[in-house]
Structure 1
Amino acid sequence: MEIQHKLIKLNQTFANKEDAIRYCGQQLVAAGHVNEAYIEAMLERNEELSVYMGNFIAIPHGTDAAKKEVLSSGITIVQVPAGVNFGTEEDPKIATVLFGIAGVGDEHLDIIQRISIFCADVDNVVKLADAQSEEEVITLLNSVG
């Protein structure tokens, strides 16, 4: 899947995980990948099972029931240098890179797999979190099969 420059957002800050997830959803709505209702499904999905994946990344995405809200597959990459907590105060799970995704059919599984392979190496996550341009983010992510 092609990564769009306009869906890469650098140096963002969020008060909490709900704001961060909502922001990812709004980016996908604005780009025409999903209907507005998908945002609530992204929040719901995180309630059911945390979208925090470890290694400082979170992958907000909708529930299976929200598939009907997906118009086309898309991904937004949001850099959060100060981090946002996807855990609790007692058990913080800090994400510095968010991948908001929507996939037609099973395409989201392929997207998650590619992100997971790339982010399994925490050095790659650090490079993404430190990237200074949209182009740098795209180059890093395209370096994965």
Structure 2
Amino acid sequence: MELQQELIQLKQAFATKEEAIRFCGRQLVDAGHVNEAYIEAMIERNEELSVYMGNFIAIPHGTDAAKKEVLSSGITIVQVPAGVNFGTEEDSKIATVLFGIAGLGDEHLDIIQKISIFCADVDNVVKLADAGSKEEIMALLNSVG
């Protein structure tokens, strides 16, 4: 799937995980990848099972029931230098890079797999979190097989 430069957001800050997830969803709606209802499905998905993946990344995406809201596959990459907590006050799970995704059919599984492989190396996550430009993020992610 092609990365879209306009869906890469640098130096964002969020007070809550819900605010962060809604921001990712809004990016996908505005780009025409999903219908408005997909945003609520992203919130619901995180309530069912946390979208925090470890290594300072979260992958907000919709529920299986929300597949009908996906118009085309898309991914938004959101840099959060100060981090946003996807856990609880007692058990914080800080994400500094968010990958908001929507996939037609089973394409989201392929997208998650590629992100997971790249982000399994925490050094790659640090590079994404520290990237100074959208081009730098695209170059890092396009280096993934």
Report if TM-score (shorter chain) is over 0.5: yes
* 3-state SS, counterpart of residue 96 of structure 2: strand
Aligned to 1:108: 108
Scaled by the length of structure 2, the TM-score of the pair is 1.00
1:4-37 per-position Cα deviation (integer Å, ceiling 9, x unaligned): 0000000000000000000000000000000000
Identity of aligned residues (%): 86
Q: Output the amino acid matched with 1:65.
A: A
* 3-state SS, counterpart of residue 79 of structure 2: strand
1:58-87 per-position Cα deviation (integer Å, ceiling 9, x unaligned): 000000000000000000000000000000
Distance 1:127 1:10 in 2: 13
Q: CA deviation at 1:142?
A: 0.7
Scaled by the length of structure 1, the TM-score of the pair is 1.00
Unaligned 5+ residue runs, structure 2?
A: none
- Structure 1 segments, 4+ long, off by >4 Å, are none
RMSD: 0.2
Unaligned 5+ residue runs, structure 1?
A: none
Distance 2:133 2:21 in 1: 22
Q: CA deviation at 1:40?
A: 0.1
Q: CA deviation at 1:90?
A: 0.3
Aligned residues between the structures = 145
Aligned to 2:99: 99
* 3-state SS, counterpart of residue 92 of structure 1: coil
Aligned to 2:43: 43
